[in-house]
Amino acid sequence: MPELPPLLKCTGLDIDVGNVVVTRGLEFTIESGQCWCVLGRNGIGKTTLLHTLAGLRASRSGSIELNATPLYQLSRRKVAQKLGIVLQHHEDNFPATVAETVLQGRHPHLHSWQWESAEDHRIAMQAIARLGLSGYAARNIQTLSGGERQRVSIATLLAQETELLLLDEPTNHLDLHHRLQVLETLVSHGRQTNRAVLMVLHDINLAARFADHVLLLLGNGESRLGKKEQILETTALERLYGHPLTRIETPRGPAWLPQ
């Protein structure tokens, strides 16, 4: 059996935003079933990197391939069938229920004259249940709390059923319990169904707990990436955040506390 092309492959990727240099010559591949975590300081370009990988903005140079096809050759619809993203900001200027919002995740799989089928509804309701929102299906998203709204976005991504899931700070607005529960849901769902996850996080310990690969954005286009065990070490993390850290051993593996 011939080997499958990698889900996402970046070659020589140069990304700029304004006068910030985000990456220079970034090379990496994401395989199905992997969970990647992006760490970096505020304003270093994590969101820009995610938007570039999702094809929502152009890179300066380099190529991004989705299943060996260059991203720019694919229509938005084709991209959205394979790759979904949870954005950091929501624009909720018009009323919509939680169920309607999550059902929008099915859009890339429908033609413009098609209404959602019973199967689409089932997928959406399942995603809603996974995120613990079953009692909220008929609620207007404009009346939700920040954490509830965040979980609606993640449920929409699950309903999209893509092979690659990108998430920009998925733990925003979530309390301690929901942080762990949402990440656990995402990562176990990814592993069970052989999907890949790439998420921007601000918490080293959550990254250490859930990711298997890590990408550090160090500024001025510099980056380090690889298996979690090789990348997550105290000196690199201290340099990343410009803050001294203490490594402690826990039954779940190493953890870092700010000094």
Partner 1 sequence: MHQTRTRPLLLTLITATLLGGWFSLNSGSVPVAVWDAIQHPQTLNAQVLWELRLPRTLAAFITGALLGIAGALMQVLLRNPLADPYILGVSGGASVGALFAILAGAGTLVLQSSAFAGALLSTLLVFSLSRGRGNWDTTRLLLTGVVLAAGWGALISLLLVTSPGTRVQGMLFWLMGDLSSATMPLAGSLVLILIAPLAFFLSASLNLLAGGELKAASLGVAIGRLRLIIYILASLATATAVTQAGNVGFIGLIAPHMLRLAGARDHRLLVPGVILLGGTLLLVADALSRMVIAPRQLPVGILTALLGVPLFLYLLYRSGRTHDA
> How far apart (Å, rounded) are the C-alpha atoms in residues 108 and 84?
10
When asked if residue 104 is in the footprint of partner 1 (CB under 8 A), the reply is yes
42 CA to centre of own chain: 17
Query: Nearest-CA neighbor of 100 among 23, 152, 44?
Result: 152
Shortest separation between residue 215's beta carbon and partner 1, angstroms = 20
Q: Which two tokens stand for residue 88?
A: 């950091």
When asked if residue 110 is in the footprint of partner 1 (CB under 8 A), the reply is yes
When asked if residue 92 is in the footprint of partner 1 (CB under 8 A), the reply is yes
Q: Which is nearer to partner 1, 92 or 238 (CB)?
A: 92
Site for partner 1 in 40-69 (CB under 8 A): 51, 54, 56
Q: Classify residue 97 by its DSSP letter.
A: B
Site for partner 1 in 130-189 (CB under 8 A): 138-140, 143, 160
> How far apart (Å, rounded) are the C-alpha atoms in residues 131 and 137?
11
Q: Which is nearer to partner 1, 118 or 176 (CB)?
A: 118
| Phi and psi, residue 201, nearest 5° | -130, 160
Cα atoms found within 13 Å of the Cα of residue 203, Cβ hemisphere only: 13
Interface stretch with partner 1, choices 65-73, 112-120, 208-216, 232-240 (CB under 8 A): 112-120
Q: Which is nearer to partner 1, 105 or 237 (CB)?
A: 105
Interface stretch with partner 1, choices 34-42, 105-113, 212-220, 232-240 (CB under 8 A): 105-113
Going across the sheet that includes 222-227, the strands are 83-86, 164-168, 196-200, 35-40, 213-219, 222-227
User: Interface with partner 1 by CB under 8 A: which residues?
Assistant: 51, 54, 56, 75-81, 84-85, 87, 89-97, 100-101, 104-105, 107-108, 110, 112-113, 115-116, 121, 138-140, 143, 160
